[in-house]
Amino acid sequence: MLAVWRAGWRPPMAAWGCGRVSPLLPISRCLSVTAAAAQRSAASPLSPPPRSVASPASAVYVHPTSRDAATAPVLVGLLSALEGAHTHLGFFRPVGGLSKLASSPAAPVAAAAADADGSADPHVRLMAAVCPTVVALPDRAAAVGVSPREAMAGLAGGVKGPDADRLLDVIASRYEAYREASPEAALVVAEGGHLRSVAVADATAFHAAAARSMGAPMLLVADGRSGDVDEIVSMAAGAVRQVRGVSAEVLSVLVNRLPPDGAHGSGGGLADRLAARFAAAGIPYAGALPYDRTLGSLRMNEVAAWLGADVLGGATQLDDSAVDMEGVFVATLQLPALLATLATQPGVLLRRRHGAVLHALRAAVRAAPGGSLSLVDAAAVMRRADAALDDAAVASILRFLSSGGGGAASAAATTGNGLTVADMETELRPGALLITAADRLDVLAGALLSGLDVRGQGSVAGVLLTGPGDRQAVRDLLAAMGDPTATSATVAAIGEEDGAGSADEQGASDGRDGRRASLPSPILAVPPVLSVTADTFNTVRALTGVQTDILPSSSRKVERSRLLWEAHIDTPRLVESLTTPRERVLTPRMFQRSYFAAATSSGAHIVLPEGTEPRILRAAAEILRRGVLRSTPSGEGVAACVGGVTLLGVPNEVYAAAEAARVSLDGAVVMDPTDTSSPAFRRYADRLAELRAHKGVTVAQAVEAMRFDVNLFGTLMVEAGDASGMVSGAAHTTASTIRPALQLIKAATPGGVVSSVFLMLLPSGVLVYGDCAIVAEPTVAELADIAVTSAATAAAFGLDPRVALISYATGDSTSGPAVDKVRDAVAVARARAPKLPLLGPVQYDAAVDAGVAAKKIGPDDDPDGVGGRANVLVFPSLESGNSIYKAVQRSSGAVAVGPILQGLRIPGAVNDLSRGARVEDIVNTIAVTAVVAAAGRKAGGAEGAPAAVAGS
């Protein structure tokens, strides 16, 4: 069907060094079946499809192996690391993520801000804010494939259902649109994730399918917090199996939040043992990022975002102030009692002991075996350093030192049963969050003036004012202390009191400068002061759900993510893996999207002779419903260059059959092939008599033949140019379907072989099977011709053909007439196309399975490297080919597109259906026929605008 050309026209096949067999006409490359894609295709119709040549990865797909494997630090580190290799990067989320603020009191405000910003996805906003190399799009929503709600609806029926397939189509289409909108991005980082309603394994398989359609190898992120090497590797191996199960590529596995050596009794060399175990399992391993207290801490900017709080002061300290959630104080007492309580905070205790306790602990931890000091030993060291410390103070300081901001639970998860060297690092410690009513200025002033600042002391992280009331007095107090973040209204008030002058006296600009210059020098580092209108009770309750996060304002966490990546991940090796040429897999979904979109813009008109067959009617209705072919307004006749669908049959019978099948034929043309009085019928009869005159056929005989042979009528429509192509065979034999084409349209060259292929859309990829429908017992020359022509068909659909001629034996393992015929055909095909990768005779398993090929085929027997990688499989006879294609189709659920005829004079003239064809098979065949017919018309296979044919 695709290997078509005009009589006498045989262009050279330079790519394979072949001068005798013509190449296939290329089909158009289209990205989706959307209207936008159709318009793009129409603008540049029928250009060659993307070839599956080896090239560096254009995307990498980051996906967590569990729900709680944090990816934000990994993404920040990865994008920053890739800046050295690429000047422009992209960031895309196939399934959008939900903001952690969605369940917070600030949810409405956050949603409104996200809408104004153009994207509700938090990581799209984060990466655009903190990674300058990420291409900025005017519409950030373009960086998201589908929303979480769309994803959950599409996956409600499972990850392998038709809804899931449609979801993958939408993601692929939007990803291609994103790439078109950001062509300067040399590499796109895509992020997967998990949905609450979808099992982890299913989500991984779905994202693997999305990654495969994007041509992106997957970087899997495993959670290493348990410190259990067996558990970490086992969980990662399960994810790897899921990814490879859908034929996606695993780039590497990265372990995140790995505890320090010695934690949880893990012993030393945890990262090295992980590397050894991954290597033994045959899983590529990128390295491990350690648990980091900075990344695990809760900061005041996150508290402000969670509550939707106003920042009254201390804005410069928001990102520096870590909150100890076990140190939340509600100030309902009098000021003296509050100060006494604050004085017992561990940060204050350490400061007032002049660092003696901290110095002693650091020395003891460094001297301890494995760099880990048990809590009992640490307590003893503290008491020796300061005998005045009581048990409560010791316990408080130990928790304070080991806390990552999440209190005791976090400490336990981080350090197990002791203090480590990491706990002694000079990092900001979490401090208390003081909550009080907005009218308690005494509490605020006392806390500030007591000197309990946050600069390395970890005593007070911030103050949260609750309830209604005027905050002006608070702003005045903070401004009086020299807080540089005081609001303009407060600054103006202070400036006027200090006699700085008004705008009328000095000009607006000078007045502002004067007021700023008159501010007093800072008295102390003012901690963040937040304000909410909710009462204290509801505010405290809301805080119980606060979650740590990385926000665009989290400069300390962003920088920490970058530093951790640089210190622990081998970026050059990862970049090298991404730049290694790899063959992009043409998945079945990609393949189908391509030719459906091409059909949408083809302008082809397809005739379906079996107009009363229910499957044909359903397929025609589906083609029209999708807009793949043009709907013809009622009353219009056939016009081939306009496009559409014509059903042949007595109109009353066709419409009755459509009603029984419960389908609408709106937009289809119904034409009566028995109406001998119509102008079209008489014209076709004259043409048939002319073409068969050498056989003695008269006009009267032509009329009789046409009345009883719908396939003959449909073929004459194609030959006359009134239809682009014909699809039949659901209720007819192959012989009756293609015989008129062989008699009237004929082969492209005298004595040429007309053969066929099936495009087998398997879960693992697209294979080409030939010949499975036409040539019963091909000769050596015919078999060689089928091999080379089938390779050209594969190339027309974007595949790099690797041809295997199948037999019951591999190589020289045996001999016999059947094996010798295949062996001779390979020799003939090599002579015709010396550059075409060929292998044969070879058994099917050795042709498609690399493991079997390694055992059965030596390197000298397969110089082209076809073994285990063949994608064009040529069978020695019709009996074997037809049986195998049907067995594979029925047992694997593969979609078989075809048979596609090769070698006819008119491109896409006729395609034969199996009598067992499903509706989906028929829809696919109609679309492919339209595409190839349009390609042939563009190349000159059908010239001139045909006359319209009156409808019945």
Does the structure show a pLDDT above 70 at 829?
yes
Closest CA to 644 of 625, 622, 668: 668
Band of pLDDT at residue 884, cut at 50, 70 and 90: very high
For 674-693, what is the mean pLDDT? 89
Residue 851 is which amino acid? G
Q: What is the pLDDT of residue 615?
A: 94
Strands (E), 96-201: 144-146, 187-191
Residue 928 is which amino acid? V
60 and 583 Cβ atoms separated by less than 8 Å: no
Which of 282-286, 734-738, 801-805 is least confident? 734-738
Q: What is the DSSP letter of 650?
A: -
How far are the Cα atoms of 141, 440, 928 from residue 725, in angstroms, in the given order? 41, 84, 10
126 alpha carbon, distance to own chain's centre: 19
Band of pLDDT at residue 49, cut at 50, 70 and 90: very low
For 242-247, what is the mean pLDDT? 85
Band of pLDDT at residue 874, cut at 50, 70 and 90: very high
Pairing outcome for strands 431-437 and 144-146: unpaired
Q: What is the pLDDT of residue 585?
A: 64
Residue for token pair 């009080």: 436
Q: What is the pLDDT of residue 313?
A: 84
727 and 899 Cβ atoms separated by less than 8 Å: no
Q: Please state, for a pLDDT cut of 70, what percent of the chain lies above it.
A: 75
Does the structure show a pLDDT above 70 at 600?
yes
Q: What is the pLDDT of residue 236?
A: 93
Q: Please state, for a pLDDT cut of 90, what percent of the chain lies above it.
A: 17
How far are the Cα atoms of 237, 263, 285 from residue 278, in angstroms, in the given order? 9, 21, 6
Which of 277-286, 408-417, 557-566 is least confident? 408-417
Does the structure show a pLDDT above 80 at 388?
no
For 236-256, what is the mean pLDDT? 90
Q: What is the pLDDT of residue 574?
A: 87
Band of pLDDT at residue 546, cut at 50, 70 and 90: confident
How far are the Cα atoms of 165, 202, 446, 761 from residue 588, in angstroms, in the given order? 11, 20, 69, 5
What are 593's two structure tokens?
């999207």
| Dist CA 88 CA 187 (whole Å) | 8
For 918-939, what is the mean pLDDT? 80
Q: What is the pLDDT of residue 844?
A: 92
Closest CA to 761 of 849, 616, 888, 877: 888
Q: What is the pLDDT of residue 941?
A: 45
Pairing outcome for strands 644-648 and 669-671: parallel
For 564-568, what is the mean pLDDT? 89
Which of 29-38, 212-221, 332-341 is least confident? 29-38
Instruction: Give bridge partners of residue 531 from the DSSP assignment.
Output: 310, 465
Of the two residues 875 and 797, the one the predictor is more confident about is 875
Q: What share of the chain is helix, strand, coil (3-state, %, to 5)?
A: 45, 15, 40
Task: Name the range with the highest mean pLDDT among 408-422, 615-629, 786-800.
Answer: 615-629
| Dist CA 919 CA 916 (whole Å) | 10
649 and 672 Cβ atoms separated by less than 8 Å: yes
Band of pLDDT at residue 73, cut at 50, 70 and 90: very high
| Dist CA 63 CA 65 (whole Å) | 7
918 and 925 Cβ atoms separated by less than 8 Å: no
Of the two residues 365 and 225, the one the predictor is more confident about is 225
Does the structure show a pLDDT above 90 at 319?
no
Of the two residues 938 and 53, the one the predictor is more confident about is 938
239 alpha carbon, distance to own chain's centre: 16
Average per-residue pLDDT for the chain: 77
Q: What angle do CA 723, 23, 724 make, to 5 degrees?
A: 5
Q: What is the pLDDT of residue 525?
A: 65
599 and 66 Cβ atoms separated by less than 8 Å: no
Which of 7-16, 835-844, 879-888, 900-909 is least confident? 7-16
Specify the pTM: 0.68
CB atoms inside a 10 Å sphere around CB 805: 27
For 933-945, what is the mean pLDDT? 54
Of the two residues 788 and 432, the one the predictor is more confident about is 788
What pLDDT digit, counting tens, does each position of 150-203 carry?
888 888 877 777 788 888 888 888 888 888 888 888 889 999 988 777 888 888
Burial class (CB in 10 A: 0-12, 13-18, 19+), 537: exposed
Which of 312-321, 332-341, 373-382, 617-626 is least confident? 332-341
Does the structure show a pLDDT above 60 at 354?
no
Q: What is the pLDDT of residue 351?
A: 53
Which of 7-11, 137-141, 412-416, 456-460 is least confident? 7-11
